[in-house]
Amino acid sequence: MESRQQRICYIISVLSLCALIGLCVAWELWLAPLRPGGSWMALKALPLLFPLRGILKRSIYTLQWSSMFILLYFTEGVVRATSTSGIDAGLSAMLAGAEVALCCIFFVSTIMYLRPYKQMAKKLARQAIQKAAE
């Protein structure tokens, strides 16, 4: 049974992931592409689609690995936001900052959603150990 806080965290996770997918596509095709007219870098949004189905089904396993997977996009955002090259200056740096923010939102909300499940798993493991010791 999910609490109200868990449901809110789940919704925030889904929305932030969808927003990140949209940002990646828009960034590299229209907003600030590496080349005029769009860039193949828009394909970086494709790997984000892999966990989307599992997350929409509330798969605990998918939520767990996607919380680690999203850190790749966090890293890319930090690098591009702090880059001093002409390509990633201005609007692109601001979009990279938005990418970092969305990654952080996804990560924290996913961890908060999963927290009660992890606590329950630890409790069940302790009970199993106690039963086996008896």
Q: How far apart are CA 70 and CA 75, in angstroms?
A: 9
Give pLDDT, residue 84. Answer: 63
User: pLDDT tens digit string along 13-26?
Assistant: 999 999 999 999 99
State the pLDDT at residue 8.
97
Measured CA to CA in angstroms, residue 119 lies from 57, 114, 133 at distances of 21, 9, 21
What pLDDT, on a 0 to 100 scale, did the predictor assign at position 85? 67
Q: What is the pLDDT of residues 54-94, one digit of tens each?
A: 999 999 999 999 999 999 999 999 998 988 666 557 888 89
Q: What pLDDT is attached to residue 24?
A: 94
pLDDT at position 42, please?
Answer: 86
Whole-prediction pTM: 0.88
User: Which DSSP letter does residue 30 get?
Assistant: I
The CA distance from 120 to 55, in Å, is 20
